[in-house]
């Protein structure tokens, strides 16, 4: 059982002052094995904070990130799954699932994690899953109205991944979960 | 002390002797014949102890005798130890109320008398030590005295333990007598130690009731006594007492504790004119803590103390003394910690005046403390007035206060500082849109004084704050129709335009471009075509004139195309102009692959899903074909410069775009065009000069798999895809 935290678009300090206290108290160091971050942190303090939650931190660059050396895309393998991370402002039209699926094919990954729209989505298609963990601080987005703070926790176990989405709605943390099973792909 | 232990054994021996029939009275007489006075007296005390225990005479008589006898030793150190011994053996034999040695008196007066007398004599001896011996040994003597001070203090402790000493006796007898001795001995070391002892040893309820007395003694002490520490400790004890339970608070009010303390402190500060600043501030800080515990609702008291502080500091300008500044920071932090809400601190009129006296560095430090306090408590600052007051307080962070004196601040520290200000701006908020508008104006006014160093940090949070207000006004206008709104989105956009313009003085073109585009999108949502167009114009100008770094250009292009793709507010002409420019920029990017990708991204500008009048298949195909040509050119370049063909990835990407638009129903994307592109790719991948590219192979494979998935779906989709021949390519 491997826990992977997926979050992004915090936009601290441009659009938000801090993570919601209820989220902060949930992100306890030592419980999570990997973090994939879709970008737009934006400052070093946030990077350092995420590092304390889990040292294995993978970040893709968002357009407002202070650190210009984050990569545009990143791929990594966790257990049986190949994951890809990309902020998503590079994929036009923004938020378009078919275009994101194309990126997924290009990176050749089972799970693609992207952001930019600040809207949580989990889109399953034949070749895999596209997950958008939304904005962890619920910050303003030109694309989405009424953003609720949200993040995703993936539990990878063998060929199965359970995606837990945590959303802060009206001051209460609500959890939902989605199951995905990977069929072993036939190689050419 | 070992001697005392030996004497205890002796005592036990005497007791046994007396049990065996030897008369204790006789023993008492006998020991007085001992040769040397010191051992004689020690023996006397020992026997006396047994005597009292035997109850053959009333305790008070024996004790009286003993204490008179001890007068025989006038040598300070010996006297101190002897009397200490006397105190020790008599401790459990005092004629206290309820003790077995009470005798026929109904009060503990005799016991008190005894202890008081012992104390007085011991203190005299102790003080006498100061003046013995040559002047050059003064330091040594003082050290010795310090080691012996507990012997004197013990008496006070004993007094506090006597059951019969109730509040009245304490007030009438004990305290006045003790204070009399303390004042009269005129010795600095003794006075300091004993005052402190009194405060520590007796219960707080007593102190409250005798506040005037003890405070009255303070000005009578030697000027060199560190009275402020004594007073500070007293106030600390009383503060803790107040905090311990709510029931004791009314007593504080009853005895007018605050008034008395205030006056006393005033007198002390007045009397000790040369008291260093930090001393005075420490006193005020202690009194402030006291007020916060006892009278938290009396902001006027708090302000009064701050005012007194200002008065003391007036004329001193900016303080140079680090001890003093530390104390001032502590003084100012106390109300913040107590009143979690910054609103309260903002009401204290003297607060900013105290801050004026801090040097620039500490002023900033204090400003940071204030911001941290706000962020910790997550309190929103909800009126323009409060925002104004707050920014006045933290003005050291907002702008350069002293034009000539440039702070040598570490770059990282400066960033952290400004990021705190940025985060603070997020907390300036209210639901009332009119008030929020005022807040926006206030914030803008202040951040524009920040200068080019600070604008990149403060303008973005300001921008998004304003855009959030635009959204709220949008939803408000939908509900409230026909009424003149005081603030309109248009007004806000005007402000934003001017504010973002200020960034050109820094300059930070990429940031400004991003902000312009955000505003354009917001204007789009408000159906303000000219405003949106103006924002786009500004963004384009920045791109053309200021952004020359290749990587920055690529990101900026993505933002431009991505934003433009979502615009629905533009009329045909405006839209054409903007898309034409965007495609132009795309094809002029430096690296061919970047060009290719930007151009095929532009294809989406001509096909908007939700708007049937914005679907132009021909121009979509034009873009894709152009992208294909660029990809070809890239291949040829690779051939020419490196001798091997470049990656086919671009072709595969374009193929995916073909499929995308084919599915959307763009007629110009024909099956033939798709098929020939597939063949082209296969050809390129199996060519002789081809370098193996695993990721391209995988991409192509997954694309072909996708086509198969679609075929397997059945229905309309399958029909579309069935004519496409896409078998898996053989890897050579």
Q: Which of residues 252-271 of B touch A (CB under 8 A)?
A: none
> How far is the alpha carbon of B702 from chain A, nearest alpha carbon, in Å?
6
Which pLDDT does position B48 carry in this prediction? 82
What tokens were used for B548?
């020359």
> How far is the alpha carbon of A148 from chain B, nearest alpha carbon, in Å?
14
Q: Is the pLDDT of residue B729 over 60?
A: no
| Span A4-46, pLDDT tens digits | 999 999 999 999 999 999 999 999 999 999 999 999 998 999 9
Whole-prediction pTM: 0.83
List of chain B residues whose C-beta atoms are within 8 Å of the C-beta of residue A112: none
Which pLDDT does position B732 carry in this prediction? 40
Q: Which of residues 11-50 of A touch B (CB under 8 A)?
A: 11-18, 21, 43, 45
Return the higher-pLDDT residue of B338 and B321: B338
Smallest Cβ distance to A63: which of B419, B555, B728? B555
The percent of residues in chain A predicted with pLDDT above 90, rounded, is: 87
Average pLDDT over residues B40-48: 82
Which pLDDT does position B283 carry in this prediction? 85
Cβ–Cβ of A145/B471 closer than 8 Å?
yes
Q: Is the pLDDT of residue B56 over 80?
A: no
Buried b (16+ CB within 10 A) or exposed e, B64-100: eebbebbeebeebbebbbbbbbbbbbbeebbbbbebe
Cβ–Cβ of A14/B467 closer than 8 Å?
no
Query: Touching check for B680 and chain A: CB below 8 Å?
Result: no
Cβ–Cβ of B702/A108 closer than 8 Å?
yes
| Span B433-454, pLDDT tens digits | 899 999 999 999 999 999 898 9
Query: Touching check for A186 and chain B: CB below 8 Å?
Result: no
Mean confidence (pLDDT) of chain B: 85
Which pLDDT does position B630 carry in this prediction? 94
What tokens were used for B27?
């023993």
Q: Is the pLDDT of residue B169 over 70?
A: yes
Which pLDDT does position B658 carry in this prediction? 94
Average pLDDT over residues B420-426: 93
Q: Residue B720's Cα: distance from chain center in Å?
A: 63
List of chain B residues whose C-beta atoms are within 8 Å of the C-beta of residue A64: 460, 511, 514
Q: Is the pLDDT of residue B6 over 50?
A: yes
- CB-hemisphere CA count at 13 Å for B18? 22
- Residue A174: CB atoms within 10 Å: 12
Handedness of CA B30, B34, B37, B43 (dihedral sign): negative
Closest by CA position to B288, among listed B311, B261, B270:
B261
Give me the DSSP letters along B223-270: TTS-HHHHHHHHHHHHHHHHHH-GGGHHHHHHTTHHHHHHHHHHHHHH
Cβ–Cβ of A105/B699 closer than 8 Å?
yes
Return the higher-pLDDT residue of B20 and B91: B91
Q: Which of A59-73, B118-132, B291-305 has the highest mean pLDDT?
A: A59-73
Average pLDDT over residues A67-79: 93
> How far is the alpha carbon of B475 from chain A, nearest alpha carbon, in Å?
11
Q: Are the beta carbons of A120 and A150 closer than 8 angstroms?
A: yes
Average pLDDT over residues B33-62: 80
Which pLDDT does position A167 carry in this prediction? 95
CA distances to B31, B69, B146, B311 from B266, in Å:
57, 46, 30, 12
Q: Are the beta carbons of B671 and B723 closer than 8 angstroms?
A: yes
Which pLDDT does position A70 carry in this prediction? 94
Cβ–Cβ of A106/B416 closer than 8 Å?
no
Cβ–Cβ of B427/A17 closer than 8 Å?
yes
Which pLDDT does position B151 carry in this prediction? 85
The percent of residues in chain A predicted with pLDDT above 70, rounded, is: 97
Q: Is the pLDDT of residue B353 over 70?
A: yes
Residue with tokens 């001509």: B606
Distance CA B627, CA A46 (A): 39
| Span B513-555, pLDDT tens digits | 999 999 999 999 999 999 999 999 999 999 999 999 999 999 9
Which pLDDT does position B482 carry in this prediction? 46
Complex-level ipTM: 0.94
Cβ–Cβ of A102/B378 closer than 8 Å?
no
List of chain A residues whose C-beta atoms are within 8 Å of the C-beta of residue B457: 13
Q: Is the pLDDT of residue A51 over 70?
A: yes
| Span A119-161, pLDDT tens digits | 999 999 888 999 999 999 999 999 998 899 999 999 999 999 9
Return the higher-pLDDT residue of B577 and B150: B577
What tokens were used for B343?
């609103």
pLDDT confidence tier of residue B252, bands split at 50, 70 and 90: confident
The percent of residues in chain B predicted with pLDDT above 70, rounded, is: 93
CA distances to B364, B510, B547, B620, B640 from B589, in Å:
45, 16, 12, 20, 21
Mutation site for A-interface testing, chosen from B428, B562, B726 by largest number of A Cβ within 10 Å: B562
Which pLDDT does position A82 carry in this prediction? 94
Q: Is the pLDDT of residue A104 over 80?
A: yes
List of chain B residues whose C-beta atoms are within 8 Å of the C-beta of residue A12: 423
Q: Are the beta carbons of B342 and B374 closer than 8 angstroms?
A: yes
User: Which range among B4-8, B179-183, B523-527 shows the weakest confidence by mean pLDDT?
Assistant: B4-8
List of chain B residues whose C-beta atoms are within 8 Å of the C-beta of residue A15: 426, 460-461, 464
Residue with tokens 């006393």: B264
> How far is the alpha carbon of B418 from chain A, nearest alpha carbon, in Å?
10
Which pLDDT does position B1 carry in this prediction? 66
Which pLDDT does position B479 carry in this prediction? 53
Q: Is the pLDDT of residue A187 over 50?
A: no
Which pLDDT does position B484 carry in this prediction? 54
User: Which range among A88-92, B552-556, B640-644, B687-691 shows the weakest confidence by mean pLDDT?
Assistant: B687-691
| Span B67-125, pLDDT tens digits | 888 888 888 888 888 888 888 888 887 877 777 776 666 677 888 888 888 889 888 88
Which pLDDT does position B478 carry in this prediction? 57
Average pLDDT over residues B49-56: 79
Which pLDDT does position A184 carry in this prediction? 66
Closest by CA position to B98, among listed B170, B165, B167, B173:
B165
Helix, strand, or coil (residue B19): helix
Cβ–Cβ of B375/A142 closer than 8 Å?
no
Distance CA B113, CA B188 (A): 25
> How far is the alpha carbon of B373 from chain A, nearest alpha carbon, in Å?
13
Which pLDDT does position B250 carry in this prediction? 79
User: Which range among A131-135, B408-412, B711-715 shows the weakest confidence by mean pLDDT?
Assistant: B408-412
Query: Touching check for B562 and chain A: CB below 8 Å?
Result: yes
Query: Touching check for A106 and chain B: CB below 8 Å?
Result: yes
Q: Is the pLDDT of residue B600 over 60?
A: yes
Which pLDDT does position B483 carry in this prediction? 52
Cβ–Cβ of A17/B649 closer than 8 Å?
no
| Span B470-524, pLDDT tens digits | 999 988 765 555 455 567 899 999 999 999 999 988 889 999 999 999 999 999 9
pLDDT confidence tier of residue B428, bands split at 50, 70 and 90: very high
Average pLDDT over residues A74-92: 94
Average pLDDT over residues B166-190: 88
């Amino acid at each position: 059982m491997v826990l992977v935290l997926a979050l992004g678009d915090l936009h601290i300090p441009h659009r938000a002052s801090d993570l919601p206290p209820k989220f902060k108290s949930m992100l306890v160091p030592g419980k999570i094995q990997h973090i994939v971050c879709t970008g737009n942190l934006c400052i070093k303090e946030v990077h350092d904070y995420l590092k304390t939650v889990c040292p294995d931190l993978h970040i893709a660059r968002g357009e407002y990130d202070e650190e210009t050396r984050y990569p545009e895309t990143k791929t990594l393998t966790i257990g049986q799954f190949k994951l890809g991370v990309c902020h998503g402002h590079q994929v036009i039209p923004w938020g378009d699932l078919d275009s994101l699926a194309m990126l997924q094919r290009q990176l050749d990954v089972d799970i693609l994690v992207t952001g930019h729209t600040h809207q949580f989505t989990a889109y399953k298609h034949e070749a895999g899953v596209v997950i958008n963990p939304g904005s962890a601080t619920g910050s303003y987005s030109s694309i989405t109205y009424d953003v609720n703070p949200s993040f995703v926790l993936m539990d990878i176990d063998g060929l199965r991944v359970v995606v837990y989405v945590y959303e802060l709605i009206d001051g209460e943390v609500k959890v939902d979960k989605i199951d995905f099973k990977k069929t072993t792909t036939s190689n050419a | 002390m070992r001697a005392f232990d030996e004497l205890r054994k002796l005592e036990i021996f005497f007791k046994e002797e007396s049990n065996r029939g030897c008369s204790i009275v006789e023993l008492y007489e006998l020991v007085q014949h001992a040769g040397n006075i010191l051992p004689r007296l020690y023996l006397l005390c020992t026997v006396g102890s047994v005597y009292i225990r035997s109850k053959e005479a009333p305790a008070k008589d024996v004790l009286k005798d003993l204490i008179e006898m001890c007068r025989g030793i006038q040598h300070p150190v010996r006297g101190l130890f002897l009397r200490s011994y006397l105190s020790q053996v008599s401790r459990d034999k005092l004629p206290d109320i309820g003790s077995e040695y009470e005798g026929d008196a109904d009060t503990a007066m005799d016991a008190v008398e005894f202890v008081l007398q012992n104390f007085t004599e011991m203190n005299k001896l102790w003080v006498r030590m100061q003046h013995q011996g040559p002047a050059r040994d003064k330091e040594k003597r003082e050290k010795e005295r310090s080691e012996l001070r507990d012997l004197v203090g013990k008496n006070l402790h004993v007094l506090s333990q006597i059951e019969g000493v109730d509040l009245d006796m304490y007030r009438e007898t004990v305290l006045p007598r003790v204070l009399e001795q303390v004042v009269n001995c005129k010795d600095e070391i003794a006075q300091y130690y004993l005052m402190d002892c009194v405060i520590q040893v007796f219960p707080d309820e007593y102190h409250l009731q005798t506040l005037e007395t003890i405070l009255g003694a303070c000005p009578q002490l030697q000027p060199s006594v560190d009275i402020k520490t004594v007073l500070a400790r007293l106030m600390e004890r009383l503060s803790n007492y107040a905090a311990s339970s709510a029931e004791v608070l009314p007593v504080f009010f009853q005895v007018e504790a605050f008034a008395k303390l205030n006056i006393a402190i005033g007198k002390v500060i007045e009397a000790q004119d040369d008291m260093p600043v930090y001393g005075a501030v420490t006193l005020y800080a202690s009194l402030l803590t006291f007020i916060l515990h006892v009278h938290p609702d009396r902001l006027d008291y708090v302000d009064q103390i701050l005012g007194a502080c200002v008065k003391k500091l007036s004329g001193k300008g900016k303080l140079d003394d680090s001890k003093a500044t530390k104390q001032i920071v502590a003084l100012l932090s106390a109300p913040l910690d107590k009143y979690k809400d910054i609103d309260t601190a903002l009401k204290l009129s003297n607060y900013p005046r105290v801050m004026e006296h801090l040097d620039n560095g500490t002023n900033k430090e204090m400003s940071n403390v204030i911001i941290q306090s706000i962020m910790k408590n997550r309190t929103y600052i909800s009126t323009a007035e409060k925002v104004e007051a707050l920014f006045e307080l933290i003005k050291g962070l907002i702008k350069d206060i002293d034009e000539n004196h440039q702070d040598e601040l570490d770059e990282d520290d400066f960033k952290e500082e400004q990021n705190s200000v940025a985060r603070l701006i997020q907390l300036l908020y209210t639901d009332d849109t009119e008030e929020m508008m005022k807040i926006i104006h206030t914030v803008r006014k202040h951040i524009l004084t920040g200068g080019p160093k600070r604008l990149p940090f403060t303008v973005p949070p300001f921008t998004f704050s304003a855009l959030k207000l635009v959204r709220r006004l949008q939803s408000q206008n939908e509900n409230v129709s026909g009424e003149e709104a005081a603030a309109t989105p248009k007004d806000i956009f005007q402000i934003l335009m001017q504010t973002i313009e200020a960034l050109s003085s820094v300059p930070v073109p990429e940031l400004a471009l991003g902000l312009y585009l955000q505003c354009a999108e917001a204007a789009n949502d408000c159906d303000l075509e000219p405003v949106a167009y103006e924002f786009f114009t500004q963004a384009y100008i920045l791109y053309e004139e200021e952004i020359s770094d290749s990587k920055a250009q690529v990101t900026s292009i993505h933002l431009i195309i991505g934003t433009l793709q979502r615009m629905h507010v533009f009329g045909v002409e405006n839209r054409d102009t903007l898309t034409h420019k965007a495609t132009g920029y795309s094809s002029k990017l430096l690296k061919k692959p970047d060009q290719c990708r930007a151009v095929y991204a532009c294809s989406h500008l001509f096909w908007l899903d939700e708007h049937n009048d914005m679907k132009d298949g021909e121009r979509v195909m034009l873009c894709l074909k152009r992208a294909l040509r660029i990809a070809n050119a890239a291949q040829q370049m690779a051939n020419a410069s490196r001798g091997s063909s470049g990656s086919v990835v671009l072709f595969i990407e374009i193929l995916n775009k073909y499929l995308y638009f084919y599915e959307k129903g763009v007629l110009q994307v024909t099956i033939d065009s798709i098929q020939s592109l597939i063949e082209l790719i296969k050809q390129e991948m199996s060519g002789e000069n081809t370098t193996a590219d695993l990721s391209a192979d995988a991409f192509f494979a997954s694309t072909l798999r996708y086509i198969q998935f679609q075929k397997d779906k059945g229905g309309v989709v399958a029909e579309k895809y069935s004519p496409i021949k896409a078998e898996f390519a053989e890897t050579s």
